[in-house]
Amino acid sequence: MEEIISILEEIQPDPDYETCETLIDDNILDSFAILSIISELEDEYDIRITPAEIIPANFNSAKAIYAMVKRLQG
């Protein structure tokens, strides 16, 4: 989880990723940030994030991103 938060902070340093659960809903992360996050996650965790996975529910919080990564590592 710490590595995911580190990736998020590199791309968008302002939010409190420990507590925020509305990263997409509140437009904290834009589409460019999401693409950057996807690229970093795929490289870091050796996973493939398909277009079907690119939904707000998977990117609204660090916890949701973590859960997606764990599921894809599976």
- Which sequence spans correspond to the domains of the chain? 2-73
Residue 25: per-residue pLDDT: 96
Establish how many alpha carbons lie within 13 A of residue 21's alpha carbon, considering only the half-sphere containing its beta carbon. 3
For residues 28 and 25, what is the distance between their CA atoms, to the nearest angstrom? 8
Residue 49: per-residue pLDDT: 98
Residue 42: per-residue pLDDT: 98
This prediction has a pTM of 0.95
CB atoms within 10 A of CB 23: 23
The CATH superfamily of 2-73 is ACP-like (1.10.1200.10)
State the average pLDDT over residues 7-28. Answer: 96
